[in-house]
Structure 1
Amino acid sequence: MRAAVLTAYNVPLQLTEIPDPVPGPGDVLVRVMAGGVNPLDTKIRRGEAAHAQTAPPAVLGIDMAGVVEEVGSEVDRFRVGDEVFGMIGGVGGLPGSLAEFAAVDARLIARKPDALTMEQAAALPLGFITSWEGLVDRANVGPGQQVLIHGGAGGVGYLAVQLALARGAQVFATGSPSSQE
């Protein structure tokens, strides 16, 4: 299969043929239809992400959306043909989404909502988890609270705004003039 491979830090990824991944018993094989590229992916490419170390050669790409092609023997939540999305790897030695296929731990993905395109679903996981960690896990935002979100139209900000509203908070957001609407 083809994959965009990190061959060294601070150089462009190389489009390379690599062996197809083989799913284990708890994995699903996903045909990647869209992969998200996050600021963390670019830091890893530059060798600057000490908390998410990945040594070349590596397939980067944390977020993805795709179609299940094969299901491991211990997986009962997914079937061939299911559309899925999630954070699948690209860090800590786990192959990521910048490839045609990925063998993914079934616990890391969910069914893609029908209302979302593959591209929209692939843009959600890391940004949403970042928003959740800040608003829910750390601040326990809830009804009656006021929340200020800087960069409310950005990749994390737009998800944080929606999450805070869904949890009953009154939300205020900042943004550049071009993002005010």
Structure 2
Amino acid sequence: MRAMIVEQYGDNGEFVQADVPKPEVTANHILVRIAASSVNPVDTKIRANGASLPFAPKLPAILGMDFAGTVEAVGEGVTEFSVGDAVYGCAGGLGDLQGTLAEFINADVRLVAKKPANLSMREAAALPLVSITAYEGLTRAGMTAGQKVLVHGGSGGVGHIALQLAKAWGAEVYASAGSQEKLDLIRELGASPINYKTESVSDYVDAHTDGKGFDVVFDSVGSENIAPSLEAATLNGQIATTVSTVEVDLSQAHLKGLSLHVVFMLIPMIHNVGREAHAIILEEVAKLAESGKLKPVLDENRYSLAEVGKAHSRLLSGEGMGKVVIDNE
């Protein structure tokens, strides 16, 4: 089968087209012909820093995690899928799991669900990693209907899904961004926009919560943005972050009795623990999509499998809005 591989990590880690063996279906797996895949920041980090990451695939590597496609064969023990089913998932690109920048993938059924019927393959391929991350963050934070939820990075890959989930679950949702185009998208998706470049944390906390703070803060930016998240939370509030690789003063967390939840959705894939939860989440996400309560935003540019390098560059540029998707077929 045709695949795009990297032969080295780092600045010289260019994608090269290769003809590699087509995977054979194994027990509790399905062989999927991949129609589309999407690019996530973790994909670019592995490509750049794979030599120092313990979960990076061995070289030469096929990267890529998200996909949507059609089942071509089912392995022994598989009862929930049949040949011809349209499916989506996040099932490769780590350790010994072959990535999705290829024509086929032998995917663990615990990491896959049937594709939302109302979404295209491209739209479905944009959802798995970001929707699982958003879902885990909000549920760990114990979000309930009627709460005030702040999503930092509300126009980003994870953020734009998190705000839609929070709204679907009955929250009063606010989301931050730094450009008018992104603020407009947040409003279009049903949340109240906050311009973090022109409004201080105290400004928007006063304006939207009467100075009390938000019940839940979903921080899809993380790192240095954790401090403003602590500031924005209410007493005994909940914070979920997707990036916590930073030293931060937790004094505010102590004085306000805050709970901090770190979301790293790759753990089941890396350690082969609790993978069933991902399929369950993807099934719930599909129901929300089919009910019209959740829809991914796609970048305006289209890329073929051979143009994956350009797709990575597009994501890294920060110029786009929405998920960058690759047409594998």
Q: Which residue of 2 aligns with 1:82?
A: 85
Tell me the residue number matched to 1:6. Answer: 6
Q: Which of 22, 41, 50 does residue 39 from structure 1 map onto?
A: 41
1:104 aligns with 2:114: no
Q: Is the 8 A contact 1:135 1:164 kept in 2?
A: yes
Answering whether residue 60 of structure 2 is matched by residue 53 of structure 1, we say no
Aligned residue among 125, 137, 147 for 1:122: 125
Matched, 1:24 2:26: yes
Shift of 1:157: 0.8
Measured in 1, the distance between the counterparts of 2:129 and 2:55 equals 13
Matched with 1:15 is 17
Give the aligned partner of residue 180 of structure 2: 177
TM-score normalized by the length of structure 2: 0.53
Once residues 154 and 52 of structure 1 are traced to their aligned partners in structure 2, the CA distance between those partners, rounded to angstroms, is 24
User: What does the per-residue CA deviation read over 1:43-73, in whole Å, with 9 as the maximum and x for residues that have no partner?
Assistant: 0011257363222111111100000000112
Residue number among 157, 160, 164 corresponding to 1:158 in the alignment: 160
TM-score by length of 1: 0.95
SS of residue in 2 equivalent to 1:66: strand
Aligned to 1:143: 145
Report how many residues are paired: 180
Alpha-carbon distance in structure 1 between the residues aligned to 2:102 and 2:135: 28
Alpha-carbon separation, structure 2, partners of 1:153 and 1:101: 31
Residue 69 of structure 2 is aligned to residue 62 of structure 1: no
Structure 2: which 5+ residue stretches go unaligned?
185-329
Is contact 1:58–1:93 with CA below 8 Å preserved after alignment? no
**Distance in structure 1 (CA, Å) of the matches to 2:147 and 2:107:** 38
Which deviations, in whole Å up to 9, do the C-alpha atoms of 1:126-179 show, x marking residues without a partner? 111111221112x11111211111121111111000111122211001122221
CA distance in 2, matches of 1:163, 1:26: 30
Deviation sequence 1:86-116 (CA, Å, 0-9, x none): 0011012210110000111111110001110
Structure 2 distance, partners of 1:144, 1:29, is 43
Post-superposition shift, 1:79? Answer: 0.7
Unaligned runs of 5+ in 1: none
Q: What's the Cα RMSD here?
A: 1.3
In structure 2, the residue corresponding to 1:52 is in which secondary structure? coil
Distance (whole Å) between structure 2 residues aligned to residue 52 and residue 158 of structure 1:
27
Q: Which structure: larger Rg?
A: 2
More helix by share: 2
Q: Distance in 1 between matches of 2:161 and 2:41?
A: 16
